Structure 1
Amino acid sequence: MRVLLIGLGLVGVNICRILASSSRVSELICCDKSLSKINSIKSSLLKLNLYNDFLSNIEFKELNASRIHEIEKLAKRADIVINAALPIFNIKIMKACLNVGVNYLDLASNDYAKAEQLSLHEDFIREGLTAIINSGFSPGLTNLMAKWCSEVLTEIEVLKIRLIEDQIPYWRIWSWSPYLTIEHFASPPIVYENGRFKIEEPLGGVEEYVFPTPIGKKRTYLIYGDEIATIPNYIKVRKLDLKSGGSEIEFIKGLYNLGLFKNNEIKIGKKRIAPLRMLYELSKKFNGYNPMDYIHHLDDMVIAVSLEAIGVKGGEKSMVRIHALPPSLSELLSKNVMSTPTAFSAAAVSSMLIESFHEIVKNKGVYPLEALEISLVEKILSNLSSHYNIKVVYEPIKIIKDVSR
């Protein structure tokens, strides 16, 4: 398979490293607008003895993802384009794929509360092409786990998605670009309930949730997630929400409580400014930020995702839970993988989809991961455990007794 990878950020560089040693990838073209970033990745591959071993299969190119003709020129040489650039380029890159007849995969949506990529579903069907969207960690792995829950229970009433990212001993570094982090937490969460989407207060709905060992009980809050916008289209559910916790969110919660996420202007001396705008302006000094430059401040970083579904199985009210525990930061570093756990996991999911694309491509159109066949979902989850040490834990079904009887 010939692959064009656009975007060599935190996730893209991990995808590059993984696919560089994939037997299914015959040619890999890695692109970014930053020449310095390209040279840095070349250097890291040399240190891992990957670039020399696969030199004939890897090519690096400068590319401006806002220029559709540049994308088309390189996409003609590929069987699939992986969009690991910012989601604002989703539609432009998808249209380039349609123009030259190439399949597509991306990591997240751009539009609030909807997957704009689905608007091109009929176009991809008409061209006989396949696009798999929102294929990272969250969304991505969360969608695969939601699909599994929907197959275990006959009906789902409530589906809870719970995430955790903890820095040890406490929050010290931004896990992603500060600008994108602020933008994410400034987006009001959406909850799906009784056939309708509701907008909730950011970082509200506090809940103590028990994650698997070694993480345990953690405080979680409502946050925005792309998966909430797509899952109800493919899985029948009465209520669906996403909450997350951990050291970075507790820090963000503190900023939120201070009023720094408000858009209303306040008077400072003789000037008026919105606190949120001030945060955005301050974050611009972190352009080009890479958390791996600051990991020496941490002892470790751990993440996990848990899904809990309550519904009906065999005529009885039941509950099922599934968990994913990716390698910690210290485990990754011990294997010379210079990545945060979240970026590594997102790359592992998208890379595993590339490995399985010969099965996915049978279905033409645009699809999120919860639309995949359960047999393929189970295979991907199994391979994430065996290939990337992302431990997937399946809890047995529990019957919920009705105490009112």
Structure 2
Amino acid sequence: MKIIVLGGAGQMSRVTVKDLARSQDVTEVIVADLNEAKARQVAFESGEKCRGVYADAFDKPALVQLITGADCVINGCTYQVNLSVMEACLEAGVHYTDLGGLFHVTRKQMAMDEAFQKSGLTAVLSMGGTPGTINLLARYGVDRLDTVETIRVLNGCGDWTKTSAIFSVPYSMRTIMEEFTVEPVAYLNGEFVAVPPRSGLETIDFPEPLGPIQAHYTLHSEPATFPVAWKEKGLKNVVFKLALPPDFHEKVRFLADLGFSSTEEIQLSNGTSVAPLDVLEAMIRRLPEDPDAKVQDCDILRAEVLGRKNGVETHYTIDSIARENQRYECSSTELNTGVPPSIVAQMIVKGAITRRGAYAAEMGVDPEQYFIELAKRDMYVTVSCQTPVGIDTFTPVEAQRQVRTD
């Protein structure tokens, strides 16, 4: 099995490469990145199966040449290249998966479903932790209900690392700034509704070691794909909320309010033009790391599924908990995001995923088989079911009221 990881030198994809390299059925891993030196370093560190090469995901002719003959492409690049990489996969005849399209791009990717079906190819979209694993947590609950009214998808992050570093970023700063400033979209009463960034603030009682933490709306792909997957189940409401460590949240909020999320260039007094977000990213790259820091964190994914079974209101809560990991030498966020596309790429090539087309995980990946693979990699899923359950906070009327008053 030959797998190509685009953006393979990135923070999350390094874990993807490690997992592929440790998998018995994988014979070759191509670590492809704009930074060829880093790609070669990641390949060297990951083992003899791996090879690092230069790749520009926007150069489609060169990309087609690179991926032809591979079994699957894992796209770990920024979501802006997703459509272009998918087109290259169609041309080369290669299966595909990625880390997400941040709602709007994901919807465009789903429109390529027919093209992938006709080519006999599978593209599992948005297959990181969230979106990705969390979609399959939701499906586990949905599969056990006759009808479904509401799905809440929640991501809680905790970080207790003792470090001298001024500012530690768990994943792409560009993505984080977009999550804080781009208008989220929720699915409420059967319609897509725009809500203010960082609105819908509420305290979520996550499992230990995280516990209660405040979460807010942010733009994500789950509200784009769930209504497509479960329209026949009567799904009316889908919301996504993110809870970052309070100290980190306040720092990001401050930067966002100052305007550092902007990609529009501003003119400096010396006549130079710069985009604030580019400056922020460059400054973060310059920050010294703390070599003595020992990561201690957690990343919890939760799907709350409310519906009816045999006419009785039933509420499933499905959690997946990841911690910092010694085997992979990574944080919980890196583990939660980097491992899933490796699992799914291998499932596609081995025939464990048979549906062809371009779709999100909940439409073609068996959750229980996937959960077994997660457990092999130190990520465990727990399920609780309540019936009957108080549902005042989940009714469409309450959801609409909350949006209006935030």
- Give the TM-score of the pair, scaled to structure 2: 0.84
Question: How many Å separate the matches in 1 of 2:358 and 2:18?
Answer: 26
Question: How many Å separate the matches in 1 of 2:240 and 2:170?
Answer: 19
Q: How has the CA–CA distance of structure 1 residues 127 and 214 changed in structure 2, closer, same or farther, with 3 Å as cutoff?
A: same
Give the conservation status (yes or no) of the 8 Å contact 2:43–2:50.
Answer: no
- The equivalent residue for 2:213 is 218
Give the conservation status (yes or no) of the 8 Å contact 2:299–2:336.
Answer: no
Whichever residue aligns with residue 314 of structure 1, its letter is N
From 371, 375, 394, the equivalent of 2:383 is 394
Question: How many Å separate the matches in 2 of 1:137 and 1:104?
Answer: 17
- The equivalent residue for 2:345 is 354
| 1:309 maps onto 2:300 in alignment | no
SS in 2 for 1:220: strand
| 1:178 maps onto 2:173 in alignment | yes
- The equivalent residue for 1:3 is 3
SS in 2 for 1:115: helix
SS in 2 for 1:356: helix
- The equivalent residue for 1:13 is 14
Q: How has the CA–CA distance of structure 1 residues 213 and 201 changed in structure 2, closer, same or farther, with 3 Å as cutoff?
A: same
- The equivalent residue for 1:249 is 249
From 311, 315, 320, the equivalent of 2:316 is 320
User: CA-to-partner distance for each residue in 1:51-74, whole Å, 9 max, x for gaps?
Assistant: 2xxx2x332211111111211112
- The equivalent residue for 1:342 is 333
**Deviation of residue 298 (structure 1)?**
6.2
- The equivalent residue for 1:48 is none
Question: How many Å separate the matches in 2 of 1:175 and 1:102?
Answer: 31
Q: How has the CA–CA distance of structure 1 residues 181 and 296 changed in structure 2, closer, same or farther, with 3 Å as cutoff?
A: farther
Tell me the matched-pair count: 381
Question: How many Å separate the matches in 2 of 1:127 and 1:174?
Answer: 39
User: CA-to-partner distance for each residue in 1:291-311, whole Å, 9 max, x for gaps?
Assistant: 9x4474566222111111222
Question: How many Å separate the matches in 1 of 2:311 and 2:170?
Answer: 44
- The equivalent residue for 2:369 is 379
SS in 2 for 1:40: helix
**Deviation of residue 101 (structure 1)?**
1.3
Question: How many Å separate the matches in 2 of 1:255 and 1:215?
Answer: 25
Question: How many Å separate the matches in 1 of 2:267 and 2:4?
Answer: 49
Whichever residue aligns with residue 134 of structure 1, its letter is S
Question: How many Å separate the matches in 1 of 2:145 and 2:355?
Answer: 25
**Identity level (%):** 22
**Deviation of residue 260 (structure 1)?**
4.0
Question: How many Å separate the matches in 1 of 2:13 and 2:44?
Answer: 15
Question: How many Å separate the matches in 1 of 2:356 and 2:286?
Answer: 37
Give the conservation status (yes or no) of the 8 Å contact 1:182–1:280.
Answer: no
Q: How does 1:79-90 map to 2 (within 5 A)?
A: 79-90=71-82
Give the conservation status (yes or no) of the 8 Å contact 1:10–1:339.
Answer: no
**Deviation of residue 269 (structure 1)?**
12
Give the conservation status (yes or no) of the 8 Å contact 2:354–2:364.
Answer: no
- The equivalent residue for 1:158 is 150
Give the conservation status (yes or no) of the 8 Å contact 1:80–1:104.
Answer: yes
Q: How has the CA–CA distance of structure 1 residues 96 and 341 changed in structure 2, closer, same or farther, with 3 Å as cutoff?
A: same
**Deviation of residue 225 (structure 1)?**
0.9
**Deviation of residue 361 (structure 1)?**
4.7
User: CA-to-partner distance for each residue in 1:117-157, whole Å, 9 max, x for gaps?
Assistant: 11211111111111111000111011111111211222221
Question: How many Å separate the matches in 2 of 1:130 and 1:114?
Answer: 15
SS in 1 for 2:22: coil
Question: How many Å separate the matches in 2 of 1:165 and 1:93?
Answer: 30
- The equivalent residue for 1:189 is 184
Whichever residue aligns with residue 253 of structure 2, its letter is K
Whichever residue aligns with residue 109 of structure 1, its letter is G
**Deviation of residue 95 (structure 1)?**
1.2
User: CA-to-partner distance for each residue in 1:315-368, whole Å, 9 max, x for gaps?
Assistant: 111211000101x22xx1x43x23221121122211111232133552221111
Query: Over aligned residues, Cα RMSD in angstroms?
Result: 3.1
| 1:72 maps onto 2:67 in alignment | no
Residue segments in structure 2 that go unaligned for 5+ positions in a row: 393-406
Question: How many Å separate the matches in 2 of 1:261 and 1:119?
Answer: 33
Question: How many Å separate the matches in 2 of 1:323 and 1:227?
Answer: 16
User: CA-to-partner distance for each residue in 1:4-35, whole Å, 9 max, x for gaps?
Assistant: 22112112111111111211112222211112
**Deviation of residue 188 (structure 1)?**
1.4
Question: How many Å separate the matches in 2 of 1:234 and 1:395?
Answer: 23
Question: How many Å separate the matches in 1 of 2:58 and 2:21?
Answer: 26
Residue segments in structure 1 that go unaligned for 5+ positions in a row: 46-50
Question: How many Å separate the matches in 2 of 1:120 and 1:165?
Answer: 33
Moved more, 35-44 or 140-149: 35-44
Question: How many Å separate the matches in 1 of 2:391 and 2:142?
Answer: 22
Give the conservation status (yes or no) of the 8 Å contact 1:2–1:28.
Answer: yes
Q: How does 1:22-41 map to 2 (within 5 A)?
A: 22-41=23-42
- Give the TM-score of the pair, scaled to structure 1: 0.85
Whichever residue aligns with residue 153 of structure 2, its letter is I
